[in-house]
Amino acid sequence: MALDKALPIFLCGFLSIPLAFMLNLFHAMRNPILVLVAGVLSLSLVIAIPFIFKKTTKPKHDSFYYVWSIFTFSSVIDMVLALENDGIINSVMGFYLQEGEPYLQTAYGTFICYWDAIAHMMMYVVILSADSFNWRYRTGVLYWVGSIGHSMLVFLSGNFVGKFGVKWGVFINIPYLVIPILAGYKMLNKKLESKSIVHRNFNVFSKPADVGFLMYFILAAGVGCFRAFAVLGCLSDVTQNYLKYYEPYLTDPTQYPKMQMLVYLFYFVPFYVYAIKSLVNGDNSSGISDWAVIHAGAAAQAQIPHIGSSLHHMTDPALRVPKNMNAQILFWGLNITLLIIPQLFAYRCAPSNIDDKRKIQRPVKDNEENMTRSYNTRSKTRNTTKKDI
């Protein structure tokens, strides 16, 4: 059954390569609307494969199983686009890059294609394999939701306000924003098999790791606000010097880094506040655990394209990371920290890694002791009654 369920994944993945070559034959397709139609028809053809497979076999699976298998198609296409941008391959999807989605011919567009082709493909394989073998995959789905949801949020907003303007091809990406939202809503409403664990009334300063996370979120909130104010045009000497001497990529005319900083301000900073509150109150419930995983996926997707775009050859040399030592130390230290700490915090919030297990087990032991005492009491009563008789 597992092998049969995996068949649509391989069909969708392998079909994407000949489709890319076939679409590239239409050199006369210069109308953006025709490019959009071609993209929709290609996706429809890929969707038809698992749909027909479902009608004939009807295996038990998650309702999003075939959605994830279809998304493997886009991962392979994105690898082709990224390789063509870097000049590793030629004349495969050139027409689509020029007429369909020209904003993909940027440093940021190249790196989100690499991320989708490598990271998202790995997530699809893990999730689909877990679903096929009836393993748990809820955490993997939440991580994917944070990653692809953040990717589309920055990518679509940057396309609408960037230098390329609105193209018809951008609407092909709408399902990649809507579907993850639906999948995340389903997973967040899905009850955990294990009970939610909440600990209250302990001193956060007695736990060095939590103190470190607390300080990180406070500093990260300040950095998020600072960089957002910088890209919004704050005239302070501090922000202006930062843009000029440390991260000039934030002023890139594609507007992707600007949208990234605004996402940090309006989405990441509120999570930082929520995480600070949870650490101070000793809250280890499923709520902070789920959102920590979503944030970890979003943070990884945010930082990898941001770091890569700041160094990529498609970025204007004047906007790349300055070569002086101070700028290099600040850039790498700041962005690597924003990448790694969220992953560690998500691991810390995982239900299997919650500390203070003795407190969790005490009620169970107390119940066992109470049951033993009541059993002994009943036994003594029965023995006394027999003796009286």
Give tens-digit pLDDT for 259-302: 999 999 999 999 999 999 988 887 776 688 899 999 999 999 99
| Alpha-carbon gap, residue 258 to 228, rounded angstroms | 8
Count: domains in the chain: 2
Both 168 and 38 in one domain: the answer is yes
- State the pLDDT at residue 131: 84
Q: What is the pTM of this model?
A: 0.77
Write down which residue in 189, 221, 239 finishes a domain: 189
| Alpha-carbon gap, residue 228 to 223, rounded angstroms | 8
**Each residue of 328-371: pLDDT tens digit?**
999 999 999 999 999 999 998 887 654 433 333 434 444 545 55
Q: Does residue 387 lie in a domain region? A: no
Of 36-45, 67-76, 165-174, 309-318, the least confident: 36-45
CB 331 within 8 A of CB 310: yes
Both 111 and 175 in one domain: the answer is yes
Q: Does residue 267 lie in a domain region? A: yes
| Alpha-carbon gap, residue 308 to 337, rounded angstroms | 15
**Residue recorded with tokens 């993945």:** 13
Confidence label for 219 from pLDDT (cuts 50, 70 and 90): very high
Both 238 and 163 in one domain: the answer is no
- State the pLDDT at residue 356: 38
**pLDDT of 15 above 80:** no
| Alpha-carbon gap, residue 207 to 215, rounded angstroms | 13
Both 131 and 223 in one domain: the answer is no
The DSSP secondary structure of 200-228, one letter per residue, reads: -S--GGG-HHHHHHHHHHHHHHHHHHHHH
Both 246 and 177 in one domain: the answer is no
What average pLDDT does the segment 248-260 reach? 94
| Alpha-carbon gap, residue 38 to 265, rounded angstroms | 37
**Higher pLDDT residue, 299 or 372?**
299
Confidence label for 33 from pLDDT (cuts 50, 70 and 90): low
Q: Name the nearest CA neighbour of 272 among 342, 209, 204.
A: 342
**Six-digit token string for 78:** 């994105």
- State the pLDDT at residue 129: 86
Q: What distance separates the 2 farthest-apart alpha carbons in the chain?
A: 105
Both 132 and 210 in one domain: the answer is no
Distance from the first to the final alpha carbon of the chain: 65
Both 247 and 132 in one domain: the answer is no
- State the pLDDT at residue 47: 55
Both 48 and 94 in one domain: the answer is yes
**Each residue of 115-132: pLDDT tens digit?**
999 999 999 989 988 888
Of 215-219, 220-224, 370-374, the least confident: 370-374
Both 141 and 213 in one domain: the answer is no
The rounded radius of gyration (Å) of the Cα atoms in the chain is: 26
Q: Does residue 364 lie in a domain region? A: no
Q: Does residue 123 lie in a domain region? A: yes
Structural domain boundaries, residue 80: 2-189
